[in-house]
Chains A and B, each alone.
Chain A
């Protein structure tokens, strides 16, 4: 971290000046997994909306953490819009992949989409951090985050930093932990 400290100094300076670095993040996952709800939760409380409707196409949301300014591409997860995802892979500097832990039936579909994502030429050879949210932990028979990572074979992702968090987007549990990890990853990536 010795090499990191001048950067940290710059970050502090930038933060002090109110200038934060922009990061483009893609938020992906099947329909009804909670992507929009999670992004909504991460926004400042005065900007949050009350009712979440299924996203059509995609929407762009912004929120800030202590040192970074996130621009999130909240992609629609519906089957007919999933072919839009790949057009945004180039711009993305990080990926948030949301999984409905209670939907055991469609875990194979989530795995299929994840595998397609990881094998896409725009993603395959980049060391892009991936944050997994095993969402809907509040549902009674939801799978644990360990079980979800097993079913998605996350242990096979060797060339990219990844992290899985058990979350409940309705209450906001677990979200901050994930975003902190992502922020650290993006910072180490730049140094």
Chain B
């Protein structure tokens, strides 16, 4: 029961929508490697693919070529230097069809057949600076001491167009007390200048068959790309680049037509073709590439600015998408049986994402940051995803037979519901008639009528407003010299009411003087205690309550309007007017 529970929980936690089966996870596998050093190949001809890993060990020791079968390590052989790439390739037509393994390491390619060392290819050495050669010649003859040698080498380094050899550069970095020993050790050997391999790939020689003979294609630190003959290991073609290559993708056949897409350390991608030893196209990226994968005819590039970009094979950018985290590694996912091609991205936030073009199809959560990804046939299973982690773990996942990748899965954009048709009821005859009437025959007339009424309404409103302003019928004074505001409150049940007028000077800083309040009312109904009131000086901002008492003299239970005028001494028109709707006196009816 425990087994069941753990299996289920691990399936859910991966968050990939149940598309992958967790076949194997060994956190202690001790595999420290990158995608360029991982490959899958049928090494024994029994129909079962093995996993080849060029293990970088600790970076200075423990470099190994490891071979896995299923869940277990079946073979390992020590490598002399750090591997920069591991590829399996068919080098001849012999039966049974078992591929050889090429390990690129330093300036050499070590070729293994049946997992035994078979051949070592060394890159041709580069031209050596003649001045440098002369200086070392003098050292050998004992004519100059190490300190003079250092001075001379430094001057050569500054001036010469041919760079110094590794030996001289190493010498220049030494402390003076180590120099003697170094010179004694090395002075007898001739000087050689070697480059190192930065990337390796394969290129079918003349047929596109899966088991066709392949050439090795190598990129070097000296900014060259070489194509090697698979049997004789001679250089078939040499091409030059403006910068040192870091990632490479090769397609086509050497004898027919091929295309080498190279991401270089200057942040550009160059596309080389068969007929030219110089790049045919160049893609200038905004930031440095961290991975390069071919999907169909297009090239997908991951960049340091957390973006993924697609280009045509002529270098035209098709799309760009922004990722959630920096890319750690990239690999192609190719399932020819289902016609499915996509790109797998290892991200620094412990996720592996699957993109088809710019659409995110699926996300796999991993227990650690993934540093290498390889997808292909492993064992007898076609859709196997192999990943190694930063801590050296090995993860194997198998794509479910029934898994379907949906383009819209998780991708930002319009939600699914948007494309579902709503169940809208049929249009009624009335609706259709109205729609016809509005859109066809009388639309313009309706609009005109509406516009005319609207204009009349506006005119009427404006007229009333102007009239109110002219006769100061508003409780707000519009005059610039005496900006006033007033409101009136009636308190009481009757027959005597208390009338409070709140007067406010709304000017910014000017006080108002010489104001008075008077009332206009039906004298048969009301009697105002003080029908004329003087208003004191109004300080700006403050509210002045002015109170008086109104007595209702009628017992008929009727109410009237009392008009309040705020007047300025010496002017006949009021500053402002308020109409007070008096309540019905209830006190009188009680009597």
Residues of A within 8 A of B (CB): 30-32, 79-80, 82-83, 103-109, 111-113, 116, 141, 150-151, 153, 155-156
Q: Which of B4, B398, B402 contacts A106 (CB 8 A)?
A: B398
Contacts A82-B401, A106-B379, A106-B381; A156 near B4 (Cβ below 8 A): yes
Chain B residues near A141 (CB-CB < 8 A): 72
Contacts of B21 in A (CB 8 A): 108-109, 112
Give the residues in chain B near A79, CB-CB below 8 Å: 337, 381-382, 401
- Min CB–CB distance B451 → chain A (angstroms): 68
> Is B3 in contact with A153, judged by CB distance below 8 angstroms?
yes
Chain B residues in contact with chain A, CB under 8 A?
1, 3-4, 7, 21-24, 47, 70-72, 337, 378-382, 396, 398, 400-402
Q: What is the CB-to-nearest-CB distance from B179 to chain A, in angstroms, rounded to a whole number?
A: 56
CA A150 to CA B1, docked complex, whole Å:
9
- 3 tightest CB-CB pairs across the interface, nearest first? A108-B21, A105-B70, A153-B4
Known A-B contacts A79-B401, A108-B23; A31 and B380 likewise in contact (beta carbons under 8 Å)? yes
Cβ contact of B23, chosen from A32, A105, A113, cutoff 8 A: A105
Q: How far is the CB of B29 from chain A (nearest CB, A)?
A: 14
Residue of B nearest to A80 (CB): B337
Q: Are A155 and B1 in contact (CB under 8 A)?
A: yes
Interchain CA distance A30-B396 in the complex, whole Å: 18
Neighbouring B residues of A30 by C-beta, 8 Å: 380
Q: Is the CB of A112 within 8 A of B379?
A: no
Q: Within 8 Å CB of B398, what residues of A?
A: 105-106, 108-109
Residues on B with beta carbons closer than 8 Å to the beta carbon of A155: 1
Contacts of B7 in A (CB 8 A): 111, 153
Across the two chains, which residue of chain B brings its CB closest to A33?
Answer: B380
Q: Considering the chains assembled together, what is the distance between the CA atoms of A40 and B23 in angstroms?
A: 30
CA distance in complex: A19, B398 (Å): 47
Provide the residues of chain A in CB contact with B396, threshold 8 Å. 105
Contacting B70 at CB < 8 Å: which of A104, A108, A113, A150? A104
* Chain A residues within 8 Å of B70, by CB: 103-105
Residues of B within 8 A of A103 (CB): 70, 379-380
B22 to chain A, nearest CB (A): 6
- B48: nearest chain-A partner, CB-CB: A32
- The residue in A105, A107, A108, A151 that gathers the most chain B C-beta atoms within 10 A of its C-beta is A105
* Residues of chain B with a CB closer than 8 A to A83's CB: 401
15 A-B pairs whose Cβ atoms sit less than 8 Å apart in the complex: A31-B380, A32-B47, A32-B380, A79-B337, A79-B381, A82-B401, A105-B23, A105-B70, A105-B396, A106-B379, A107-B23, A108-B23, A112-B21, A112-B401, A155-B1
Q: How far is the CA of A157 from the CA of B4 in the complex (A)?
A: 12
Task: Specify which of A105, A112, A156 is in contact with B71 (CB 8 Å cutoff).
Answer: A105
Closest chain B residue to A113, Cβ basis: B401
SS class, residues of chain A in contact with chain B = helix
- Once bound together, how far apart are the Cα atoms of A106 and B396, in whole Å? 10
**Residue numbers in B under 8 Å from A31 (CB-CB):** 380
A132: min CB distance to chain B, Å: 16
Q: How far is the CB of A150 from chain B (nearest CB, A)?
A: 6
Q: How far is the CB of A28 from chain B (nearest CB, A)?
A: 13
Report the bound CA distance from A34 to B403 in whole Å: 26
Contacts of B381 in A (CB 8 A): 79, 105-106, 109
Residues of chain A within 8 A of B401, CB atoms compared: 79, 82-83, 109, 112-113
Task: Name the distance in Å between A140's Cβ and chain B's nearest Cβ.
Answer: 11
Q: Which residue, A82, A104, A111, has most C-beta atoms of chain B within 10 A?
A: A104
B338 closest partner in A (C-beta): A80
The CA-CA distance from A153 to B400 in the complex, in Å, is 18
CA distance A153 to B23 in the complex (A): 15
* Chain A nearest CB, measured from B494 CB (Å): 87
**Chain B residues with CB under 8 A of A109:** 21, 23, 381, 398, 401
Question: Does the CB pair A151–B23 fall under 8 Å?
Answer: no
Partner among A80, A108, A156 whose Cβ is within 8 Å of the Cβ of B22: A108
Query: Chain B nearest CB: distance from A133 CB in Å?
Result: 18
A116 touches B72 (CB 8 A): no
Min CB distance B234 to A, Å, is 40
Closest Cβ–Cβ distance, residue A149 to chain B (whole Å)? 10
Q: How far is the CA of A28 from the CA of B416 in the complex (A)?
A: 38
Interface pair A150/B3, CB less than 8 Å apart: yes
Inter-chain contacts of B402 with A (CB < 8 A): 116
Q: How far is the CA of A28 from the CA of B1 in the complex (A)?
A: 25
Complex Cα spacing A109 to B381, Å: 9
Query: CA–CA, A113 to B402, complex, Å?
Result: 10
Asked whether, in the complex, the Cβ of B24 is within 8 Å of the Cβ of A105, the reply is: yes
Report the bound CA distance from A112 to B24 in whole Å: 15
How far is the CB of B474 from the nearest CB of chain A, in Å? Answer: 82
CB distance from A135 to the nearest CB of B (A): 15
CB neighbours of B22 from chain A (8 A): 108
A151 to chain B: closest residue by CB? B3
Query: Are A105 and B379 in contact, CB atoms less than 8 angstroms apart?
Result: yes
CA distance A40 to B252 in the complex (A): 45
Contacts of A116 in B (CB 8 A): 402
Q: How far is the CA of A111 from the CA of B401 in the complex (A)?
A: 12
CA distance A151 to B398 in the complex (A): 16
* Shortest distance from the beta carbon of A51 to any chain B beta carbon, whole Å: 15
Taking the closest CB of chain A, its distance from the CB of B75, in whole angstroms, is 15
Instruction: State the Cβ distance, A12 to closest chain B Cβ, in Å.
Output: 43
B553 to chain A, nearest CB (A): 97
- Asked whether A112 lies within 8 Å of B72 as measured between CB atoms, the reply is no
Question: A106, A151, A153 — which one has the most chain B CB atoms within 10 A of its CB?
Answer: A106
Distance (Å) between the CB of A45 and the closest chain B CB?
28
By CB atoms of chain B within 10 A, which of A104, A108, A150 has the most? Answer: A108
A106 touches B400 (CB 8 A): no
Contacts beyond the supplied A112-B21, A151-B3: 6 A-B pairs with Cβ under 8 Å = A104-B24, A105-B71, A107-B23, A109-B401, A141-B72, A153-B4
Instruction: List, in ascending order, chain B residues with CB within 8 A of A106's CB.
Output: 23, 379-381, 398
Shortest Cβ distance from residue B2 to the other chain A in the assembled complex, whole angstroms: 10
The smallest beta-carbon distance between B403 and chain A, in angstroms, is 10
Q: Please report the C-alpha to C-alpha distance between residue A151 and residue B356 in the assembled complex, in whole angstroms.
A: 34
Nearest Cβ on chain B to A115's Cβ, whole angstroms: 10
* Alpha-carbon separation in the docked complex, A32 to B398 (Å): 17
Cα A104 to Cα B1 with chains together (Å): 20
- Residues of A contacting B380 in the complex (Cβ-Cβ under 8 angstroms): 30-32, 103, 106
Q: Which A residue sits closest to B8, measured CB to CB?
A: A153
**Bound Cα distance A155, B1 (Å):** 8
* Residues of chain B contacted by A150 (CB below 8 angstroms): 3
